[in-house]
Structure 1
Amino acid sequence: MTIQTKDYLFVRNKLLNKEEIAFLDVREEDPHAQEHPLFAANLPLSRIEIDAFAKLPKKNVPIVTLDDGEGFALLAAQRLVNLGYTDVSVYEGGVQGWKAAGGELFKDVNVPSKSFGELVEAKRHTPSLSAQEVKQLIDSKEDVVVVDVRRFDEYNTMSIPTGISVPGAELVLRLPELAPNPKTKVIVNCAGRTRSIIGTQSLINAGIPNEVNALRNGTIGWTLAGQALDKGQSRKFQEVSEDTKNDAAQRARSVADKAGVKRASLEDIQNWKTQSDRTTYFFDTRTPEEFEAGHLPGFRSVPGGQLVQETEMVAPVRGARVVLVDPSGRGVRANMPASWLAQMAWDIYVLDGVKIADLTEKGIWQTPLPPLPKVESIDALTVSHWLKTDSNTIAIDFSTHANYVKGHIPGSWYALRSELSQAIKKIPQVDRYIITSSPSELSLFAAKELQALTKAEVLVLEGGNNAWIKSGLELEKGPTHLASPPLDRYKRPYEGTNVDPAAMQAYLDWEFGLVEQLGKDGTHHFWVL
């Protein structure tokens, strides 16, 4: 199979002309985070069959794969062609080729959003208070409300004392009842900078009467100031009245209109779903619980605050059309994120006129998958018996490292699919390997690759790790038996409670430099309301 190559000018021209392109860094997340072009979205080789149909809904979108000389880009391109994609190329020269051609390289993850957040602060001088100032307000029992705009699980891990979990897109809808007195000071925090800047500026843009400030540098700033964080908190926003919803809806719609957000109807959605010359993403920006209770067919659950923070994770095709919907919040949680995505130069629409009766699907979003390979499988109870009685049987787990550490089949080995040829050298040689993963479908694709590397019998655990857990079988926790390095997750300097202060400070210094990097890159089309 001959795969074409593309150069710097091809990719750059696509970005400058706002034409569709999926520029995909197919390395694992950690090497991706070390350095990559601004709009090179991370879609690891390990997960291409699992993620491609959701992230690349149009089969003829121009795709350019990127690596750093490991050979992953060519393998990824071949897999994409096998999945039916018709316009697939490899970026010639890899990451270093981009740099040699004069391209800017960026560190970390979610860089488009983070650099945009810094641009917003630079242009709008978004107000903020230091950790010491905020602690003083709390300690002196001032009339102040602290709202944490991260995902609930991040808030639950560590939070500012008195903080309430209000994920970003919920702010304009929920804050009026959390701080009904316009004299109440509002502090918006995240882990670092981006989400608190965007959250603070959202409230200001929406004309909320309270004084609003970001907690400068978030939980990182709090920690670097030597101040203690709470752990395990569960304070959440509550439902709001119809009057509050109506007022928030007007405010959010006004901001969206100013940002040039376009409107869509259900008829448009039906047309766009079948359109062959345009990529369209359909996102429901409410809470996952509301989505599961009822949603529109074809829409994916992506809460609005995280969508602004992690756009390229769910929408890697730059230049695509994006449609947001919030049927039960009067559109607030669609219009506010849409206003930001418009400023980030997305072709953005909000779907209007949706009735509760239109929400005909229930349950979690189902990932669209290609036909699955036929592989011999075995049930969990049999596997458990073999592992206990037969020393010539070993389980290999292809889940993410984070999921593996949380709990895996006792005695199993962790391996990265992209590193399998190296991993197999570290795993003991036996007569039978059982492959498992979360999601279970990943095992089916890895099984044939493992079979090509060994003479042993290779079987797949039917239903993967979920089936093991449902069978009531025990799990082992911790980073035991690692046959591959945990490259699939970049350790963010703002996650968890035991991060080196020097790494935190380095992260903040990096964020401060992003606006200058944006200027050097020149492909972003960002603007600020």
Structure 2
Amino acid sequence: MPIKNQDYAFVRNKLLNKEEVALLDVREEDPHAQEHPLFAANFPLSRIEVDAFSKLPRKDVPIVTLDDGEGYAQLAAQRLSELGYLDVSVFDGGVKAWKAAGGEVFKDVNVPSKSFGEFVESKKHTPSLSAQEVKKLLDDKEDVVVVDVRRFDEYQTMSIPTGISVPGAELVLRVPELAPNPKTKIIVNCAGRTRSILGTQSLINAGIPNEVNALRNGTIGWTLAGQELDKGQSRKFTEVSDSTASEAAQRARSVADKAGVKRVTLAEIAQWKPQSDRTTYFFDTRTPEEYEAGHLPGFRSTPGGQLVQETEMVAPVRGARIVLADPGGVRANMPASWLAQMAWDVYVIDGIKASDLTEKGPWKQGLPASPQIQTVDATTASVWLKDDSDTIAIDLSTHANYVKGHIPGSWFALRSQFSAAIQNLPTASRYVLTSTTGELAVYAANDIQTLTKANVFVLSGGNQAWMDAGLEMEKGPTHLASPAMDRYKRPYEGTSVDPAAMQAYLDWEFGLVEQLGKDGTHHFWVL
């Protein structure tokens, strides 16, 4: 059956009417980040089989694939149809046609959340202090606590001196014991603006008695002020008493009620699991460690602060229903209050008991059946690669994971770019495809076999199996057959960023509220 086309009016009407639609930008992340519609979720062609079942749980949801004329949208639509999706179409003319129809386009990643943060700040005038003002407070040994609301790995890369890692959804629960004296000033920081604005406003909304300020422009602002950041810190929040947890739960519930967050029971959500009439996402918003110790069946580990920051990365269906779980309440109710203001249909489960948390271990995403492919175990592959110059290993992992560690001599290639990458590969009669845990290679093998006369094998279990077999890895960007376009270089990550890029990023954030107004499809509101 031929894939149909859709246009700007179709997508815009879905967004304006708050109807479900998955507008999927199927380019790699870097081209996506250069320009895309506000609610176009990045859903790379390279990963469709790996991501589809978890991110698009309802098979008849309206899906529109988008590229910029490269042909990826058509390929993606065909793959989704083959996976059983029933309402798949291609956005006719790609990003150029979106712009030609008067559609607004946005730069960077996680734009719905970042623009919402700026929208909140513009309405609430969230209090903030400059990097210089915060440094003076610290230098003068004032009674001040700095809390860093990013992921712990981001905090470890670089942090504000004295800063403590308290990821966003944990703030209302943890801050009362980090700053028990109401006279203690609290400074909330992230790398740029969004998470510190929403973190600061969360504490204010919850009625924390302390004076709370965002660190204006985060670690970027600190760096641009010529001030030194710490590296490799490990200060983390600690557990709180039952009375603190109880009071925090009441505060968070009050905020959620004001935001119109809906309540639901475990019995009621059982009816939503089949994904028949609505797309429903089920997220556990506690820490990954708590999740792995025990969680509700079918729930994905999505810490609440990151869920608000990166919503479209786990919930690409705009207009879907989101269900949040945290037995203590705080880490579900606070993120839910923000998602509600971002116009999501959001529910929090009441009455979760410890005995309900029957699943243990990390989240496992559902995957399609594996295609018929040739596989090879790590030991045999290592012999081939060592003794046979006519065999090469091709790594389809993310570029970041490839750089961290790969099979010695292997080549990095992006599945979506393979027809071009093949020109850069050494001549060989046998390819061994691998990826971090193997799944990407499994689904790519037959595609790649159609592009080459080489005999294509997949390394069973991927690079993880190679390491488990005790075989050595090498690091660094050694053999790149594809450009590293699968990840957009964020101007707020790492410690060696050009100051001009940092400033340009801040200028871009300041302009988001105006862009939201031009776009007009967001339905955002503020408590």
- TM-score normalised by L of structure 2: 1.00
Query: 1:196 and 1:472 mapped to 2: Cα distance?
Result: 43
Equivalent in the alignment of 1:155: 155
- 2:106 is paired with a residue of what secondary structure? coil
Q: Is the 8 A contact 1:374 1:444 kept in 2?
A: no
Report the residue type matching 2:446 in the other structure.
K
Q: 1:494 aligns with which of 492, 495, 502?
A: 492
User: What SS class does the counterpart of residue 424 from structure 2 fall into?
Assistant: coil
- Partners of 1:446 and 1:414 in 2: CA distance: 14
How far apart are the structure 2 equivalents of 1:444 and 1:301? 25
Which residue matches 2:329?
331
**What is the aligned partner in structure 1 of residue 476 from structure 2?**
478
Q: Secondary structure at the match of 2:98?
A: helix
Task: Provide Cα deviations, 1:65-85, integer angstroms capped at 9, x if missing partner.
Answer: 000000000000000000000
Q: Distance in 2 between matches of 1:87 and 1:428?
A: 41
> Which of 331, 336, 340 is the matching residue for 1:342?
340
Q: Which amino acid aligns with 1:473?
A: L
- Alignment-derived partner of residue 523 in structure 1: 521
Q: Secondary structure at the match of 1:322?
A: strand
CA distance in 1, matches of 2:363, 2:42: 21
1:245-278 deviation digits (Å, cap 9, x = unpaired): 0000000000000000000101111001124110
Distance 2:410 2:324 in 1: 42
Q: CA RMSD in A?
A: 0.6
Which whole-Å deviations, capped at 9, do the CAs of 1:348-373 have from their partners, x for residues lacking one?
00001110000010000001001111
Per-residue deviation, residues 25-76 of structure 1 (Å, max 9, x unmatched): 0000000000000000000000000000000000000000000000000000
Question: Which amino acid letter does the alignment assign opposite residue 406 of structure 1?
Answer: K
Shift of 1:9: 0.5
Matches within 5 A, 1:124-273: 124-273=124-273
Q: Secondary structure at the match of 1:424?
A: helix
For 1:181 and 1:416, the matched residues in 2 are separated by 53
Alignment of 1:53-132 (within 5 A): 53-132=53-132
Give the Å deviation of 1:439: 3.2
Within 1, Cα distance between the matches of 2:163 and 2:218?
Answer: 12
Aligned to 2:394: 396
Match of 2:322 in 1: 322
Q: Is the contact made by 2:304 and 2:332 (CA closer than 8 Å) also made in structure 1?
A: yes
TM norm structure 1: 0.99
Q: CA deviation at 1:5?
A: 0.3
CA distance in 2, matches of 1:140, 1:10: 58
Shift of 1:454: 1.4
Question: Which segments of structure 1 move beyond 2 Å, counting only runs of 4 or more?
Answer: none
Verify the 8 A CA contact 2:38 2:112 in the aligned structure 1: yes
AA of the residue aligned to 1:139? D
Cα offset, 1:204, TM superposition: 0.2
Q: Name whichever of 62-71 and 430-439 sits farther off.
A: 430-439
Distance 2:234 2:372 in 1: 44
Q: Is the 8 A contact 1:394 1:434 kept in 2?
A: yes
Matches of 1:382 and 1:298, distance apart in 2 = 37
CA distances 1:214-259 after superposition (whole Å, capped 9, x unpaired): 0000000000000000000000000000000000000000000000
Report the CA distance between 1:182 and its aligned residue. 0.2
CA distance in 2, matches of 1:169, 1:82: 38
Q: Distance in 2 between matches of 1:274 and 1:45?
A: 26
Counterpart amino acid of residue 343 in structure 2: A
Instruction: Write the distance in 2 (CA, Å) between the matches of 1:55 and 1:399.
Output: 20
Paired with 2:294 and 2:483, the residues of 1 have a C-alpha distance of 40
Paired residue type of 1:137: L
1:378-527 correspondence runs (5 A): 378-527=376-525
Rounded Cα–Cα distance in structure 2 between residues aligned with 1:478 and 1:359: 41
For 1:321 and 1:456, the matched residues in 2 are separated by 46
Aligned partner (choices 321, 339, 352) of residue 354 of structure 1: 352
Amino acid at match of 1:400: T
Tell me how far apart the structure 1 counterparts of residues 79 and 484 of structure 2 sit (CA, whole Å).
23
- The 8 Å contact of residues 321 and 346 in structure 2, kept in 1 or not, is answered as yes
1:73 partner letter:
A
Amino acid paired to 1:14: K
Moved more, 267-276 or 70-79: 267-276
**One-letter amino acid matched to 1:440:** G
Q: Which amino acid aligns with 1:389?
A: D
3-state SS of 1:317 partner? coil
1:376 matches 2:374: yes
Paired residue type of 1:475? M
Structure-1 separation of matches of 2:268 and 2:522: 27
* Contact 2:172/2:206, CA 8 A, preserved across alignment: yes
Name the CA distance, whole Å, in 1 between partners of 2:424 and 2:207: 59
Give the superposition deviation at 1:445. 1.4
Bigger drift between 55-64 and 470-479 goes to: 470-479
Say which SS state the counterpart of residue 263 (structure 2) adopts: strand
Give the paired residue count: 527
What SS is found at the alignment partner of 2:474? Answer: coil
- Asked if 1 retains the 8 angstrom alpha-carbon contact of 2:437 and 2:465, the reply is no
State the distance in 1 between where 2:275 and 2:386 align: 54
Secondary structure, aligned partner of 1:373: coil
CA distance in 1, matches of 2:83, 2:274: 19
Q: CA deviation at 1:453?
A: 1.4
* In structure 2, C-alpha distance between the alignment counterparts of 1:80 and 1:452, rounded to whole Å: 19
Decide whether the 8 Å contact of 1:424 with 1:483 is kept in 2. Answer: yes
Structure 1 residues 312-350: Cα deviation after superposition (integer angstroms, max 9, x where no partner): 0000000000000101xx200000000000000000000
1:349 is paired with a residue whose SS is strand
Q: Per-residue displacement from partner, 1:122-161 (whole Å, max 9, x unpaired)? A: 0000000000000000011000000000000000000000
Report whether the alignment pairs 1:280 with 2:280: yes
Identity of aligned residues (%): 80
Could you tell me which amino acid in structure 1 is paired with residue 491 of structure 2?
P
Correspondences of 1:33-52 after superposition (within 5 Å): 33-52=33-52
Contact 2:57 2:275 (C-alpha < 8 Å) held by counterparts: no
Structure 2: gaps of 5 or more residues: none
> Helix, strand or coil: the match of 2:270?
helix
CA offsets 1:266-308 (integer angstroms, 9 cap, x no match)? 1111001124110000000000000000000010000000000
